[in-house]
Amino acid sequence: MRKANVVRASVTPSRGTGGQRSQRPYAKRARFTRRRAGEDIEGGSEVVPQEPDEFSSEELSEAEQLRAQERFMVMDLGLANCTGCGYQYDRNKGDPDWPISPGITFSQLPADYTCPICGGPKSGFENQTKTIAGFAENQKYGLGTNTMTGDQKLLLIYGSLLVFFGLFLAGYAFD
């Protein structure tokens, strides 16, 4: 059981008070009790630093789960660029050189897919994605603004401020 910190005030006779005893605030002496590794350490006025407690496996697993939720949502744009020549695969167009119809994502393409311009392998393509601000689990809330990128949100905020400022100034035209 952990003991509470105890503060004791020494009572000393004061000069010029006719022998009456008074408490002096500077004469207080603290006694600290700290717990370290299952044993109590008691000291006079010396403070013994307390070592951090070990985390239980339950607390660690909960912390790992929270860290896993901290990832931002990443949306696939359906575009992939060849790093060799700059060719861009668009899922809305497909690839007329291969028998790939529109609507097939780059990850669904066969493993032997090559760039139609330079012949680079599928691993030589970079998939284009956009990171959406906010956690993936929170994307379903809001009025559609949770799925916007940071630039889109800035445009919405400052654009609406500009529109309302224009409406405010237009109010003077009615006079």
Mapped onto helix, strand or coil, the DSSP state of residue 153 is: helix
pLDDT per position in the chain (175 positions), as tens?
455 554 444 444 445 455 555 454 444 444 444 444 444 444 444 444 555 556 667 777 887 877 776 667 777 788 888 988 988 888 888 888 778 888 888 888 888 888 888 888 888 989 888 777 667 677 777 777 777 777 888 999 999 999 999 999 999 888 6
Q: Where are the domains of the chain?
A: 6-43, 72-139
Cα Dmax for the chain: 110
The residue among 117, 159, 153, 108 whose CA lies nearest residue 134 is: 153
Predicted structure pTM score:
0.41
CATH, domain 72-139, list 1.10.10.10, 2.70.98.40, 2.120.10.90, 2.20.28.10 = 2.20.28.10
